[in-house]
């Protein structure tokens, strides 16, 4: 394994925060809120 492997990975992965920040900040809470809303509105929870 060469020592220049890690800098190339860091250079190619610079776009990842622009994917994961909206995903965890907008999409994940929306999915959780929708699931919890549907769960508490069910007739037979237990």
Asked whether residue 46 carries a pLDDT value surpassing 60, the answer given is: yes
**Collapsed DSSP state (helix, strand, coil) of residue 24:** helix
Domain segments of the chain as ranges? 16-46
Q: What is the mean pLDDT of residues 14-29?
A: 92
Higher pLDDT, 38 or 12: 38
Q: Where are the alpha helices (DSSP H) in the chain?
A: 5-12, 17-22, 28-40
Which is higher by pLDDT, 16 or 29? 29
In the chain, the N- to C-terminal Cα span, in Å, equals 54
Mean pLDDT along residues 1-5: 60
Per-residue confidence (pLDDT) for residue 45, from 0 to 100? 67
User: pTM for this structure?
Assistant: 0.62
């Amino acid at each position: 394994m060469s020592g220049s492997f890690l800098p190339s990975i860091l250079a190619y992965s610079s776009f990842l925060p622009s994917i994961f920040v909206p995903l965890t900040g907008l999409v994940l809470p929306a999915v959780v809120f929708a699931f919890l809303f549907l769960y508490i509105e069910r007739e037979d929870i237990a």
